[in-house]
Amino acid sequence: MADYKNFTVDIDADGIALVTWDMPDRSMNVFTEEVMNELDTIIDRVSGDGAIKGAVFTSGKETFSGGADLTMLQKMLTLFAKEKKKDPEAAAKLLFDNAGRMSWLWRKLETSGKPWVSAINGTCMGGAFELALACHGRVAANSDKVKMALPEVKVGIFPGAGGTQRVTRLTDPQSALQMLTSGQTLTPQKAKGMGLISEIAEPSELIEKAKGLIKGGLKGVQPWDEKGFKLPGGPVYSAAGANLWPPAVAILRRETFGNYPAATAILKCAYEGLLVPFETGLRIEQRYFTEIMQTREAAAMIRSLFVSLQELNKGARRPEGVPETQFKKIGVLGAGFMGAGIAYVTAKAGIPVVLLDRDTEAANKGRDHSDKLISDQIKKGRAKAEDKDKLLSLITPTADYADLNDCDLVIEAVFEDSEVKKGATEKSEAVIKPAAIFASNTSTIPISSLAQNSKRPKNFIGIHFFSPVDKMMLVEIILGKKTGEKALAVAIDYVRAIKKTPIVVNDTRGFYVNRCVLRYMSEAYKMLIEGIPAAMIENAAKMAGMPVGPLALTDETAVDLAQKIMKQTIRDLGDKAVDPKQMELINTLVDTHGRFGRKNGKGFYDYPAKPAKKKLWPGLKDLYPQRDPDTVDVEEIKQRLLAVIALEAVRVMEEGIVTDPREADVGSILAFGFAPYTGGALSYIDGIGAKKFAKIAKHLQKKYGVEFKAPKLLLDMAETGETFYQRFDPYAKGDAKKAA
């Protein structure tokens, strides 16, 4: 028997080979060059051995596979860029051949003459699901752990190993396009309903059921390779096709505004591929994949939304030499909306929580928030009744600070008032153990000033959650002037334990995210005052790639909160710190019209009872003389909204508030959805080029004001031609854990 590093091959008495994938040096199986070379050899062995009747492909780990190792794609792009300087044509051919490696290997498997069945026992993503689709039969375990998807579009590329060709030949084209262009995750039941898997089996019977398909006479030929094969949705050129393809193009345009080349390429691959024989379809897919791999969007999204995100999730900014924390109990002070949300995500991670408020009734109300959230999950089929009992048993409501005595970490989420926070800190420190870490969830008050209330400022840190806590995936960890390495390590360990992404920020008013978000909202207020119609502002923001317009975002966070922040800023920094016209706009909405935002059903938008949708408040157009929409440059609105955020991100880097460009980029996308196709606020500038962006900023400053003034850092980079990832290279010391 041949020896393989990543696979075992066991042949049973019936002549069925069980190919088990279990990479020894990885927690999850991923496709690497070595894995594909071994699999190539195994396919040859199965097809060339007359004693083998067929093969079952499965995983030796809890998950099936996460798909391709995208760092391999990064290396491919680096090699391409290097070769392109020498010989552009040869470089393109090299990229084309590399892009087709997996696709043609899967094709070799499905045309090997022997039946293959994939036995999917856990998460099966990307290239792994494309491998499963190339098998002649697919059996998935009946388990919540089994999730199948082709999610590549979310990182700027698309399924380029036959996914666009096989899915569209196995299921109806409408379902196929929805799945491919959204990266939709499928349960076994959904996948079977679409015809993408053959059977569902109980986990203990998975392998036997897969082998049973081969014993039952499964043919080693795909339907599309047999004469007379008919497409599930009928021919492209048919009445059904005429009703599908033109609207599909229009819907994609409406959803993406042309910002995602990979999504457009999926439609082209599917449409063109269904007009030709299967192998020609694979060539078409390979051609488009090669093209997409060379786009700025793919490079930026792969870096930020895959590589950087993974590194941060693994603790790239965690100090070395500090033992990892195993949390036995966590305290949460304040059972309001934020505190209750923090308690929920903590208990969901299996960590016991003490939820403290001024009285037991208030604390119990906070626990009820978790009850509601988990009950909603049960209704949607995403949780079970026993999950609810377990989660609620981990939350202990209390009004007694003494119950915090054995907590490893205490998170203060009381009212945003320095005196209230001071009292909570002092009462906690009177009872918690000396080694415990104390964290404040504040969105506006500098951590160093709050740490003055602590007797142990080394153990004091900021952990800033975003609302709603259960849905927002980013957490800002804020370092005070005296915060120690242990406090930082514990904070990162906690954020990782609750499966959120941590970014580390130095202390400043508004930290990182809020500084950027407030610029975004402020620019929209300025546009309203200029007389630009509100609908144009909101639509231009979406066209620029933002998931939510700035006025809608203000409503979500609350218009009266915007008013409080403005007033506090004036108190702290003086009258000139806030534009008086913007202050007047917000005061008019809140004080004159009682429009507080979504929470009271009226803000910049009106929020009627469901199922009616929100709509912009008609009264907005009466506040300022309206400009003729034909005189408004939509492209310039888009540019203003993105540039004002990006310039604030540059200032944050210049001031040393954020020191790692990965955190600036990932943070901007996860916190407020900064146009993901750009790779984030700094990658947006890198993609344009510092010199060109500095010129854009200068033009906007001349026309619209000081918020567009290019920081010295940007001007320096414009002179040197540097990018942020060169200037602040997070790998400068050869260690991803060290930021420059």
Rounded Cα distance between 19 and 454, Å, is: 59
Q: Kindly name the residue from 103, 370, 441, 443 that is annotated as catalytic.
A: 443
CB 509 within 8 A of CB 448: no
Three-state helix/strand/coil letters over 305-361: HHHHHHHHHCCCCCCCCCCCCCCCCEEEECCCHHHHHHHHHHHHCCCCEEEECCCHH
Rg of the chain's alpha carbons, rounded to an integer? 28
Instruction: Show the beta-strand stretches assigned E in 688-728.
Output: none
Q: Which amino acid is at 245?
A: W
Rounded Cα distance between 524 and 624, Å, is: 14
Write the CB contacts of 222 (distance below 8 Å, at least 6 apart in sequence): 110, 134, 136, 278
Q: Kindly name the residue from 121, 143, 464, 648 that is annotated as catalytic.
A: 464
Rounded Cα distance between 68 and 131, Å, is: 11
CB 289 within 8 A of CB 160: yes
Distances (CA, A) of 684 to 336, 504, 705: 37, 21, 21
Q: Integer distance in angstroms from the first to the last C-alpha of the chain? A: 49
Distances (CA, A) of 543 to 156, 275, 703: 17, 32, 22
Q: How many CA atoms lie within 13 A of 188 on its CB side?
A: 21
Distances (CA, A) of 692 to 633, 684, 716, 719: 20, 12, 13, 11
**476 catalytic residue (yes or no):** yes
Instruction: Show the beta-strand stretches assigned E in 557-670.
Output: 605-606, 615-616
Q: Which of 476, 441, 482 is nearest to 459 (CA)?
A: 482
Q: Kindly name the residue from 198, 514, 522, 683 that is annotated as catalytic.
A: 514
**453 catalytic residue (yes or no):** no
Q: Kindly name the residue from 38, 297, 412, 476 that is annotated as catalytic.
A: 476
**514 catalytic residue (yes or no):** yes
User: What is the edge-to-edge ordering of all strands in the sheet holding 137-141?
Assistant: 7-11, 16-21, 54-59, 116-120, 137-141, 199-201
Run of H or E including 124: strand 124-125
**255 catalytic residue (yes or no):** no
Report phi then psi at 405, rounded to 5: -60, -30
Active site residues: 443, 464, 476, 514
